[in-house]
Amino acid sequence: MKRIVITGMGTLNPLGIGADAFHKAQLAGESGAGIISQFDASNLSCQIAAEVKADMSQWLDRKQQKRMDRFTQFALVAANFAFEDSGLELEKENLERIGTFVGCGLGGMASFEENARISHEKSPMRVSPFFMPLLLGNMAAAQIAMKWGFMGPSLDTVTACTSGADALGQALRALQHGEADVCFAGGAEAAITPLGIGSFAVIKALTTRNDEPSKASRPFAADRDGFLMGEGAGILVLETLEHAQNRGANIYAELKGYGRSTDAYHLTDPHPEGKGAALAMSRALAEAKLNPDEIGYLNAHATSTPAGDRAETLAIKQVFKRAKDHLAVSSTKSMTGHLLGAAGAVEAIASVQALISGILPPTINLDKPDPELDLDFIPNEAREQPVRYALSNSFGFGGHNAALVLAKV
């Protein structure tokens, strides 16, 4: 099977614009949380989120912004960062061999809400002529392909909070099976809207720690009370090792394994024993041909919900057994919030950065650990600890599970 490597990374998320800014903020243990600024959330139980603080006009003109929902704008900008980072010279590439795989859980939420309002208050004939392409989740991948003329395989993975990780996994498969030489893959999400926040709030999935935004996301803590919504995008350039070497590319890491599974249990809750999550991790390790004790760092899905963090901890213990005592685990969602469909891709970038730098990102706000969750969660401060292999988890509503194994090169 062909070896697949990562040669470019791009992100914009609540911790920073660009991969370098993101990495520095992680190691400093910063929080991207704050009072919601995109709309008046004062009548909601959750009034806080982790927003991307950037003027998109830096990269996109007014015409482009009008034709793209916020999540698509994020994806396109992140892809541009990844493209520049990769050093690809398109005049030397076969554009029919470059694919785009971008996951999104909810699609154009802001565009949907605005046009639904116009339809209700005025007429369906008054909605934007761009409404449908603004709404569709596949438009992130489509816009990236159109910008550079990529004509290889293209796919929008929609597996809730697993979408970004699954996009990377599907790109991995396309490259392994010879459908492409290069893929731009990752995820994007922009669901900090009245319906986006309200819909999660009514099922009590969100934190209500409105008076302490930076302390609100508390994975593995005894007093965690729900997740903090985030937004952003992460795009990685994947290519076959042979192709990367032939063009003299800078190789960051290898995407060595991908495992997926389904809980088949509940609409929103994870399996209480973490069975599906454990299966995804085991499958990723098997594909990577690694034993659990070879994984040095695990970027947990851990969203700061009582049930989710508990189930994931149980799953990790099932898979790693005695090796769990030497495994470093952290949740970067404590800093970024939960980026939903973009989470898996952004956290894959964080995992690659941990491999490269030898510094593991912390789980901030872990002042009162849940005594039932007794793994090494790297509390509050980054840790210098070189590792060779990392595993990144992503789990979503509906019981979707994905795990990625990344290797230092």
The secondary structure of 170-223 as a DSSP string is HHHHHHHTTS-SEEEEEEEE---SHHHHHHHHHTT-B---TT-GGGS--TTBTT
Coil, helix or strand for 367? coil
Coil, helix or strand for 407? strand
Provide the mean pLDDT of the chain: 97
pLDDT digits (tens, 9 = 90+) for 68-121: 999 999 999 999 999 999 999 999 999 999 999 999 999 999 999 999 999 999
69 φ, ψ (degrees, to nearest 5): -65, 165
Structure tokens at 185: 């893959």
Q: Residue 69 and residue 78: Cα distance in Å, rounded?
A: 14
User: Is the model's pLDDT at 52 over the cut of 90?
Assistant: yes
pLDDT digits (tens, 9 = 90+) for 243-252: 999 999 999 9
pLDDT mean over 281-298: 98
**Structure-token match 């819909």, residue found:** 199
pLDDT digits (tens, 9 = 90+) for 317-334: 999 999 999 999 999 999
Q: pLDDT class for 144, splitting at 50, 70, 90?
A: very high
Structure tokens at 216: 């609100």
Q: Residue 76 and residue 56: Cα distance in Å, rounded?
A: 11
Alpha carbons within 13 angstroms on the beta-carbon side of residue 17 total 10
Alpha helix locations (H) across 101-193?
109-121, 131-135, 139-148, 163-176
Using CB atoms within 10 Å of the CB of residue 170, give its burial: 0 to 12 exposed, 13 to 18 middle, 19+ buried. buried
Residue extent(s) of CATH 3.40.47.10 domains in the chain: 4-246, 258-408
pLDDT digits (tens, 9 = 90+) for 298-319: 999 999 999 999 999 999 999 9
pLDDT digits (tens, 9 = 90+) for 229-241: 999 999 999 999 9
Q: pTM score, two decimals?
A: 0.98
Predicted pLDDT of residue 140: 98
Residues labelled catalytic: 161, 301, 338
Considering only CA atoms, give the Rg of the chain.
20
Alpha-carbon torsion, ordered 177, 295, 26, 194, to 10 deg: 60
103 φ, ψ (degrees, to nearest 5): -90, 150
Q: Domain 258-408 belongs to what topology? A: Peroxisomal Thiolase; Chain A, domain 1 (3.40.47)
CB atoms within 10 A of CB 358: 13
Q: Which residues of 181-214 are buried (b: 16+ CB within 10 A; e: fewer)?
A: bbbbbbbbbbbbbbebbeebbeeebbbebbeebb
pLDDT mean over 58-74: 96
Q: What's the CATH code, domain 4-246?
A: 3.40.47.10
Cα three-residue angle 101-78-218, rounded to 5 degrees: 95
Predicted pLDDT of residue 1: 87
**Is the distance from CB of 227 to CB of 206 less than 8 angstroms?**
yes
Amino acid at 267: L
